Amino acid sequence: MIERAHEEILAGNPADQRLRDVRPLVRESWTRALADLVGAESLPPLDLSAADLEEYRRAHPLSGVMDMVRGLLLPGEEDDSGVVVAVGDAAGRLLWIEGDRSIRSLTGAMGFVEGANWSEEAVGTAAPGTALRLDRSVQIHGAEHFNRLVQPWSCTAAPVHDPETRRILGVIDVTGGTEAVSAQAQLLVDATARAIEGELMVSRLRERAEAPPRPRRSPPPRDTARVTLRVLGRDRGLLDVAGSDGERVHELSTRHAEILLMLATHRQGLSAERLGELVYGGADAADTLRPEMVRLRKVLERSAPALVPASRPYRLTTDVETDVQQVMSLLDRGAHRVALAAYRGDVLPDSVAPGVEELRETARMTLREGLMAEASVDVLLAYADTDAGAEDEELLRLCLGMLPPRSPKRAALVAKLEQLQAKEEQPD
């Protein structure tokens, strides 16, 4: 019934009688998701990179209560707890995810990973975002989720407030099967949120008693620009510079993208000889590199002055994230489906620079091994439809073994395997 009601509201039929049987809380959340143009099968955006996440977590008010969260919601062996516990910030971005390892692997495939945005505006109806939107504890059962990818799961979440100002600091969420939406689960999550608020208040009172107040200095202003080098599936690099004055995009030549990519992946810096080898190869590569570095500096001085490389050794003095690193980070966090969506193709496909060729192969193999080791069959089937996986016999056989015997998807896999086998048997 809920599934059909969900289809009706997606189809733009809010007057359908079946919607009356859906809880008002859920129905109203679905309506907000439609108004926000949330996709019914879209993946949540990854708002925080690995480096940004680590820095942000250290400074977040809830970082000091994580032991309490574990003690209350994950007693005993957390790997066998049967649930996943997530702690997010007031914007719905997940900062910590802990609990049952197998469930974390499965939920990671739908983008339930650290750094992802699970607000209502990003993914529609789900306990973390809806709890923040309504500022109260919420339970969402399976098919009540707006996003179809999330519907196999159920979740309970409650907001956490500043004990003095009552401003929302974040959200606590428990995700799993039906046990995650029991009455006991809601009582426990609510109690955990209140216990955290009490602990925060006690900690503040203790700090005030132990140290006299001191005048606070305003932190020095700093450049908050975020720079991303995009090289996946592109012959020319794209440099995204996002700062307080907006976002700027600059296209780079293949050669300049190769140089910046090598510097971004060798943060310690590279000698002229080593950088020349990675970009050009050959014994006289350093002599070829130096005039190109002069041209690159002139390009960056006009478009992104903070990225002009330093010398001796050549190095970047501003953090530059690459879309290759983003994919690797997603795999590390178990976000297999998101990682596959972010992998838009090989690294600078037409480049013959030795360092790029090595990074290209490393990225392909890391993606393949990560998916084959832990991804769900749906993600593996999507990977098999890409250029990288289309002729991977081992991958196709793995998918075939994971599908149920009567799955209609088996026929296409068998046909692909027969085609590969026939191709191998053809004489040269």
Annotate 172-223 with DSSP letters as a single string. EEEEESGGGGSHHHHHHHHHHHHHHHHHHHHHHHHHHHHS---PPPPPPP--
Q: What is the mean pLDDT of the chain?
A: 88
Q: Are residues 248 and 205 in the same domain?
A: no
The answer to whether position 48 is within a domain reads yes
Can you say how many angstroms the Cα of residue 243 is from the centroid of all Cα atoms in its chain? 21
Domain co-membership, 128 together with 201: yes
What percentage of the chain reaches a pLDDT higher than 70? 90
CA 394 to CA 383: how far, in whole Å? Answer: 12
Model confidence pLDDT, tens digit, residues 325-346: 989 988 888 888 888 988 999 9
Cα separation, 360 vs 382, in Å, equals 20
Whether 166 and 234 map to the same domain: the answer is no
DSSP 104: H
Judged against a pLDDT cut of 80, whether residue 255 lies above it is answered with: yes
In this structure, is residue 406 part of a structural domain?
no
Same domain assignment for residues 145 and 117 = yes
Asked whether residue 60 falls in the same domain as residue 198, the answer is: yes
Quote the pLDDT of residue 306.
85
Give the pair of three-digit tokens for residue 218: 């305003």
pLDDT of residue 10: 60
Where is average pLDDT lowest: 10-24, 273-287, 355-369? Answer: 10-24
Distances in Å between the Cα of 121 and the Cα atoms of 23, 29, 37, 38 are 20, 10, 8, 7
- Same domain? For 91 and 238 the reply is no
Which pLDDT band holds residue 322 (cuts at 50, 70, 90)?
very high
- Tell whether 49 is covered by a domain: yes
What CATH code is carried by the domain that includes residue 317?
A: 1.10.10.10
Say if residue 222's pLDDT is above 70: no
Residue 110's closest CA among 338, 349, 397, 406? 338
Rounded mean pLDDT, 94-114: 91
pLDDT range class, residue 395, cuts 50, 70, 90: very high
Pick from 322, 354, 383: which residue ends a domain? 322
> How would residue 236 be classed by pLDDT, with cut points 50, 70 and 90?
very high
- Domain termination site, one of 278, 298, 322: 322
Distance CA 263, CA 250 (A): 18
Q: What CATH number did the domain enclosing 50 receive?
A: 3.30.450.40
What is the model's pLDDT at position 304? 85
pLDDT of residue 66 exceeding 60, the answer is yes
Q: Is residue 365 part of a domain?
A: no
pLDDT of residue 283: 66
- pLDDT at 319 exceeding the cut of 80: yes
168-176, strands of its sheet edge to edge? 94-99, 83-89, 168-176, 154-161, 138-140
Q: Per the domain annotation, does 346 fall within a domain?
A: no
| Of 17-26, 115-124, 354-363, 368-377, minimum mean pLDDT range | 17-26
On whether both 81 and 47 belong to a single domain, the answer is: yes
- Domain count across the chain: 2
155, 174 contact by CB (below 8 A): yes
User: Which pLDDT score is estimated for 205?
Assistant: 85
pLDDT at residue 102, rounded to an integer:
87
> Would residue 281 count as lying in a domain?
yes
Q: Under 8 Å CB-to-CB from 154, ≥6 apart: which residues?
A: 139, 140, 141, 142, 175, 176, 177, 178, 180, 181
Residues 181 and 315 in one domain: no
Residue 128 lies in a domain: yes
Which of 168, 184, 210 corresponds to the end of one domain? Answer: 210
Which residues, 6 or more positions from 133, have their beta carbon under 8 angstroms from its beta carbon? 29, 32, 119, 120
pLDDT at 76: 72
Between 178 and 245, residue with greater pLDDT? 178
Sheet of 226-230: strands edge to edge?
246-251, 238-243, 226-230, 320-322
Residue 194 and residue 237 in one domain: no
Domain that holds residue 309: 226-322
The answer to whether residue 215 scores a pLDDT higher than 80 is no
Give CA torsion, residues 114, 115, 116, 119, to 10 deg: 100
Taking residue 226's Cβ as centre, other Cβ atoms within 10 Å add up to 16
Decide: helix, strand or coil at residue 304.
coil
Beta-carbon contacts of 186 under 8 Å, excluding residues fewer than 6 positions away, are 137, 139, 156, 158
User: Do 107 and 11 share a domain, yes or no?
Assistant: yes
206 and 234 belong to one structural domain = no
pLDDT level of residue 11 (50, 70, 90 thresholds): low
Who has greater pLDDT, 160 or 307? 160
Question: Do 152 and 185 belong to one domain?
Answer: yes
Mean pLDDT is lowest, of 16-25, 91-100, 167-176, 278-287, for: 16-25
Model confidence pLDDT, tens digit, residues 161-196:
999 999 999 999 999 999 999 999 999 999 999 999
Per DSSP, which regions of 304-393 are E strands? 320-322
Q: Is residue 20 part of a domain?
A: yes
